């Protein structure tokens, strides 16, 4: 097997499905006289999921490893804005398992440190043909997103003969700026998330991750809080090797978002309640990963995803939105600490009768752009 040092792949989610999934039935006027109301607005706050494949000889302790190197001796580790989401690790022996924030330097013997620390900075620029995620009156815009964060990864520990666990704590900040002046004051945001999780390596190369996150969204211009949310989640992942250079990644998640919207923001309307956004979300993603070149430094990844959001409170109770997304990403791992990406994503939202009665807009949108990501582990 040809050893890989690592590669990065990026999943771009078109919607902010982790918290809300809103639609807008009409675009604002050019003067911005009728800005979309928040309870019917579909934010395209996105996250880039970055996964790294590390060479096991560098990424994990030697103890307990077999002498024969296999494809399963590679370890997947999350990077970028998804550093807090452990990824399923291929391999047949639980004692071999390792999930880390990035390829960490092997610590010298006698070093008793049990916490791995990593930081990242990312920036992406893309063009969207439907910035308001509306069915009619589509408006295009450029978008510039910048993010930074860090993670602490605890030492993996064995539980019985069949399970190993990896605790994580992650902090992420993201800023987004929109080029269309008529909506930039409305859409420019500052987003923060802190998340704790426990990756549980299961037999059959599955990774189960219960987690708890706190999210906070602010308007960038005024600094006003738009909402915050507490969201417990349960994620299940698996990576399947189809060959030395081809992998299939399955990713499913259940999430319950308990939201608290500020009614003092520009989105305040009569009959709107702080917890209107409470929802139960089911997500399924499927990604095909193909590496090329020396040490797999080039990656091509088509991906599809489906997210179902069921709203639970007040007038929104009974509303169900479904977002389908499909995308293609190309990644170049320039250095161990630097990766560049080009991507194109399509997303479409549909809703049930209750959603239509509430004015939720169905839509479709294309997002095309590039990104750069820098990471470092201590």
Q: What are the structural domains of the chain?
A: 8-106+113-377 (2.40.160.40)
Q: Report DSSP state, residue 101.
A: S
Q: Which residue has the tokens 């194109």?
A: 344
Compute the C-alpha angle 337/105/2, nearest 5°. Answer: 75
| Contact of 237 with 207, CB cutoff 8 Å | yes
CA distances from 376 to 74, 152, 172 (A): 19, 12, 15
| Contact of 245 with 296, CB cutoff 8 Å | yes
Question: Which residues on neighbouring strands pair with residue 78, listed in sequence order?
Answer: 51
Q: Which residue has the tokens 């990963």?
A: 289
Range 91-105 average pLDDT: 34
Say what the pLDDT of residue 229 is: 94
Say what the pLDDT of residue 113 is: 57
CA separation for the pair 141, 160 (Å, rounded): 53
pLDDT higher than 50, residue 373: yes
pLDDT higher than 60, residue 28: no
Q: How confident is the model at residue 60 (pLDDT cuts 50, 70, 90)?
A: very low
Q: What is the mean pLDDT of the chain?
A: 75
Scanning the chain, the segments in alpha helix (DSSP H) are 56-59, 181-187, 353-357
Residue 340, classed as helix, strand or coil, is strand
Roughly how many angstroms between the first and final C-alpha of the chain, as a whole number?
29
| Contact of 324 with 305, CB cutoff 8 Å | yes
Q: Who's near 70: CB < 8 A, 6+ residues apart?
A: 1, 91
Range 206-224 average pLDDT: 93
pTM: 0.74
pLDDT higher than 80, residue 145: yes
| Contact of 348 with 363, CB cutoff 8 Å | yes
Tokens of 372: 């750069």
CA separation for the pair 329, 301 (Å, rounded): 5
Question: Percent of the chain beyond pLDDT 90?
Answer: 53
Say what the pLDDT of residue 118 is: 95
Compute the C-alpha angle 121/207/16, nearest 5°. Answer: 45
Q: Report DSSP state, residue 66.
A: -
Tokens of 34: 């009728």
CA separation for the pair 270, 256 (Å, rounded): 26
CB neighbours (10 Å) of residue 296?
21
CA distances from 112 to 100, 107, 108, 126 (A): 16, 9, 9, 44
Tokens of 285: 């993603």
Tokens of 262: 């500020």
Sheet containing 48-54: give its strands across.
8-12, 48-54, 75-80
């Amino acid at each position: 097997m040809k050893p890989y040092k690592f590669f990065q792949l990026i999943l771009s989610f078109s919607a902010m499905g982790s918290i809300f999934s809103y639609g807008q039935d009409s675009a604002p006027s050019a003067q911005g006289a009728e800005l979309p109301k928040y309870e019917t607005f579909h934010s395209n706050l996105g996250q880039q999921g970055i996964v790294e494949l590390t060479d096991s000889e560098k990424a994990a302790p030697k103890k307990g490893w077999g002498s024969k190197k296999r494809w399963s001796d590679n370890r997947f580790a999350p990077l970028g804005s998804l550093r807090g989401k452990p990824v399923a690790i291929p391999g047949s022996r639980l004692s071999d398992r390792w999930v880390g924030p990035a390829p960490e330097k092997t610590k010298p013997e006698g070093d008793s440190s049990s916490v791995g620390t990593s930081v990242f900075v990312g920036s992406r620029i893309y063009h969207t043909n439907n910035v308001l995620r509306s069915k009619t009156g589509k408006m295009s815009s450029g978008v510039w997103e910048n993010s930074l964060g860090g993670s602490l990864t605890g030492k993996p520990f064995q539980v019985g003969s069949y399970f190993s666990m990896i605790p994580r704590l992650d902090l992420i900040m993201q800023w987004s700026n929109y080029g269309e002046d008529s909506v930039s004051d409305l859409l420019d945001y500052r987003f923060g998330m802190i998340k704790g999780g426990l990756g549980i390596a299961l037999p059959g190369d599955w990774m189960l991750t219960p987690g708890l996150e706190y999210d906070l969204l602010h308007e960038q211009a005024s600094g006003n809080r738009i909402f915050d949310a507490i969201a417990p989640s349960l994620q299940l992942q698996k990576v399947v090797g189809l060959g030395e250079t081809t992998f299939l990644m399955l990713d499913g998640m259940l999430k319950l978002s308990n939201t608290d919207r500020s009614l003092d923001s520009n989105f305040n309307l009569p009959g709107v309640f702080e917890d209107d956004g409470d929802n139960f979300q089911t997500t399924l993603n499927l990604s095909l990963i193909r590496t090329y070149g020396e040490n797999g430094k080039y990656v091509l990844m088509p991906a599809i995803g489906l997210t179902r959001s069921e709203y639970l409170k007040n007038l929104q109770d009974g509303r169900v939105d479904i977002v389908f997304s499909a995308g293609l990403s190309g990644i170049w791992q320039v250095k161990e600490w630097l990766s560049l990406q080009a991507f194109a994503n399509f997303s479409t939202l549909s809703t049930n009768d209750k959603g239509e009665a509430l004015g939720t807009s169905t839509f479709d949108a294309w997002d095309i752009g590039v990104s750069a990501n820098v990471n470092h582990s201590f």
